[in-house]
Amino acid sequence: MSWIITSHDLNATHENKGFGPFYFVVSDKKSNELNITLIDEALCSGISRCSDYKTQDYCKRDNEICNVAYKSNPQCGKTGNNSESCMSINTCSCEWTVNSTSGSCGVSIVNSFDSTCSDIFSIGKCIFTELTNDDCDDGFLTYLIKAKYEWDSDNFNTTNISGNYWVENPKGVWHYDPQTNQHPKGAFADCMGEETQVKCPAQKQLPFFGIYNLIASFMFIAIAYLVISLRKR
């Protein structure tokens, strides 16, 4: 469970010129006091998904800073079951990917199963990176999602295994990847890129007065001033 503490919460808990204590109550049972880390709210202005981070440090520290990983992909946090009623879950984090020229931040979705149903807990992870040149001038952000699947280092078998629970990738190596109602084709097959569109956050939309609007405004003012001056003559 996560709790996004706002400035309103902080102002409501002033105690001896400090903040706190913070705790939660469930069914009349009170938790221990919680440790909190204060973060400048301006830091998260314009950060609504993993791809908005432009530095590796902030990308890796998303859970400490803006906590947007689970908002970056609709598959994040979803659970499912296979034919043996073993529960699977998608856990998400922001992950920095290095390419040939620079790097970018994307969402990483780790596919895991209940360890009581299999010796293999983590199946692997699908890493999504986003590419776009959209400036949000129409209020929507269109971007291309590239996907790459990485098997967990413990999830491999060099023995030929057939069946719906195993995937051969690459040739000669088999990985445990059962079909579930969450991933009907398996997590590996469902790790696919696409083009998608979302509504732009307010901070990303172009301001009403861009540079061309500013120039046009100055020109209009100059012309109006000139007309008024000529009339006075």
Give domain status of residue 185, yes or no: yes
Domain count, the chain: 2
Q: Are 27 and 115 part of one and the same domain?
A: no
Q: Which is nearest to 178 in space by CA: 161, 165, 163? A: 165
Instruction: Compute the distance between CA of residue 93 and CA of residue 76 in angstroms, rounded to an integer.
Output: 9
Q: Are 20 and 85 part of one and the same domain?
A: no
Q: Are 9 and 99 part of one and the same domain?
A: no
Give domain status of residue 194, yes or no: yes
Q: Are 180 and 99 part of one and the same domain?
A: yes
- Sort strands 18-19 and 14-15 into parallel, antiparallel or unpaired: antiparallel
Q: Are 4 and 52 part of one and the same domain?
A: no
How do the pLDDT tens digits run along the chain, 233 residues long?
Answer: 555 566 666 666 655 445 556 777 777 777 777 766 655 566 788 888 898 899 999 999 998 889 999 998 888 988 888 777 788 889 999 999 887 667 899 999 999 887 666 666 789 999 998 877 777 788 887 878 889 999 999 898 888 877 778 888 888 899 988 888 878 888 999 998 888 777 776 544 444 444 444 445 545 555 655 556 666 55
Q: Are 58 and 17 part of one and the same domain?
A: no
**Angle value at C-alpha 105, between 99 and 111, nearest 5 degrees:** 100
Provide the pLDDT for residue 91. 92
Provide the pLDDT for residue 94. 96
Q: Are 25 and 50 part of one and the same domain?
A: no
Instruction: Compute the distance between CA of residue 79 and CA of residue 87 in angstroms, rounded to an integer.
Output: 7
Give domain status of residue 10, yes or no: yes
CA dihedral of 185, 190, 195, 196, whole degrees rounded to 10: 90
Q: Are 25 and 131 part of one and the same domain?
A: no
Q: Are 67 and 87 part of one and the same domain?
A: yes
Provide the pLDDT for residue 229. 60
Provide the pLDDT for residue 96. 94
Start-end of H helices in 29-73: 56-60
Q: 97: how many CB neighbours lie within 10 A of its CB?
A: 16
Q: Are 72 and 148 part of one and the same domain?
A: yes
Tell me the residue range of the domain where 14 lies: 1-38
Q: Are 80 and 119 part of one and the same domain?
A: yes
Give domain status of residue 226, yes or no: no
Q: Are 143 and 183 part of one and the same domain?
A: yes
